[in-house]
Chain A
């Protein structure tokens, strides 16, 4: 997958996303590969808030909004309905943030993965509940300062490590799962293409930096998405045919290079 081979046509236009939003970039890039024969199912996270406020529709594909816990359950319904309509060729893509995936949406995701429905689930991970004002989620990394893990006399920020979603979804023995970063778009897009070809459920977990939530200048989004991988704060990996594969990207840097650029880790550097 080469960036220059991507279609010029934008399927995400007119969103109210913040400048430098990693999440909207993750969706925009994915839709370049997924194409117009796609249905998005999403929840009231940042993505819904910035793309589908009536009469706005910032996608050139249909979008089904559903309750926070139920992205994957609604996916199963859409898949079943399209099958009855004889439209099985339409790709059903669930998109949720980390809260809507690893926390409140986990039960529904597990159910849909276990049922083996044919869909792609993309978690755009900005590592906290950004839409509601930067509260910690199960995907918040150790040490991060959030509004519910504020740094103070008795707290050094988030006191638990990030939930390992790749292993959780892999435990369902699905066809394909991968982590990605918007800082490595060619790798991410290759994985979206792979997910499209998978028979059954496929899962992508894409790190998507958030300028207001992480506390950095908006032009640093892509740099941080790369630094996260180069410093080992985030790993690029794939699960396929029952095997995990961790990718080496080179250009290793100390973790401080990543932490130093973000207010959420200011107390650690």
Chain B
């Protein structure tokens, strides 16, 4: 019988790491990630978890150590935030290119400068093209559940990719919610032990991360891309199996809410989805045809699903906590591209907000919905920056 407990996102992840039978953990502390690695250390100290814990001297070393442990065929975990993730950047490519199914939690935090410890998605969105599966979660329960699914999908022989679980710093990492913690036996039935097709073996020597000339390099990169496409399907499958076993589903890649007849659809990633869901409920109660599309998987990007869901709407508002400076929010660009070529496509508006820990309020989301009803022609590469003093809006 699963136990219902009061946990924050970091603790929920630590529980998932324990349940997944992670064998090696390597981590370096950074706010707001630290509690997850503290909790894991506590589990090991109390004998509740049998794992090697490498207390490394930097984030770069954390991921290098994870890589070293992963090549031996062990299940590994690390976690970081913001500057720590940026420090790992070089290693992110090494791990994905070597096809090591490392799982990492990112307690999302803005990037300095200006220096900040509060949440937005700039850290992980900036790592979009590093070949990691990127999953954004809405609450602590989803963090736990997604961690278990991350190992399942990442370790699938058709995938073999690292997975990043992104949870908004503080909003999710430090906020306690009721979380159902599954039984170990149930998790074992869902998540079999790791079996890498090639692991370090002195009887059968191989090289990990070999050099490659231009022709072979391209072959490797093509396979990486194919693996990402395979992950799209595997994410759906894992979610369906998880739902059958545990009774909770998040759509695997995207989670539409009230989208069937919606004239306006809000598109979100991460914790703000919870607020947007409430706004949608409120507006629906007033007979407003509004829906919500949560993007769970930013990479691989479920373009076809997004296109199918959004094609029926008249207007789409993307609300995101990141900016691709010089253009628009990264998610906005991605969604627009997914809609390209549609006959009578919806108008797409990009909104950037919640930067560096700024709250995104229900009133703001309601205002975004109202704006979408005005029929304004969207611009190209223009942003609606929320929360800017003087309410400057160039559009």
Measured CB to CB, the residues of A under 8 A from B are 36-39, 41, 44, 48-49, 52-57, 59-67, 69-70, 73-85, 87, 90, 107-108, 110-111, 114-115
Contact = CB atoms under 8 A, between A and B. Distances in A.
A70 B61 contact: yes
Contacts of B72: 77-78, 81-82, 84-85, 87
B207 A111 contact: no
A78 B71 CA distance: 7
Interface in B36-58: 52, 54-58
Contacts of B216: 54
B201 to A, nearest CB: 7
B18 to A, nearest CB: 15
21 contacts: A54-B207, A57-B207, A59-B205, A64-B68, A65-B207, A65-B210, A66-B209, A67-B64, A76-B26, A76-B56, A77-B64, A79-B68, A80-B69, A81-B23, A81-B69, A81-B73, A81-B74, A81-B76, A85-B74, A111-B56, A111-B57
Contacts of A69: 60, 64
Contacts of B70: 77, 81
A53 B202 contact: no
B211 interface: yes
A62 B207 contact: yes
Nearest to B62: A73
A85 B67 CA distance: 15
B68 A75 contact: yes
Given A64-B209, A80-B69, A84-B74, A73 B52 contact: no
B262 interface: no
A76 to B, nearest CB: 5
Could you tell me the dominant secondary structure of chain B's interface residues? mixed
A77 B90 contact: no
A196 to B, nearest CB: 15
Contacts of A60: 205
A147 B169 CA distance: 47
B210 A73 contact: no
Interface residues of B, number: 40
Nearest to B74: A81
A38 B202 contact: yes
Interface in B14-29: 23-24, 26
B94 interface: yes
Given A76-B65, A78-B69, A78-B200, A107 B58 contact: yes
Interface string B218-249: 00000000000000000000000000000000
A4 B55 CA distance: 43
A60 B203 CA distance: 9
A62 B74 CA distance: 16
Contact of B205 (A55, A61, A111, A115): A61
B208 interface: yes
A114 B61 CA distance: 14
A48 B211 contact: yes
A111 B61 contact: yes
B65 A62 contact: no
B147 interface: no
A56 B69 CA distance: 23
Nearest to A89: B202
Given A39-B202, A82-B200, A84-B72, 7 more contacts: A44-B211, A66-B68, A67-B91, A73-B65, A76-B61, A84-B69, A111-B57
B51 to A, nearest CB: 8
Interface in B282-340: none
A84 B24 CA distance: 8
B133 interface: no
Given A70-B61, A80-B65, A90 B52 contact: no
B68 A41 contact: yes
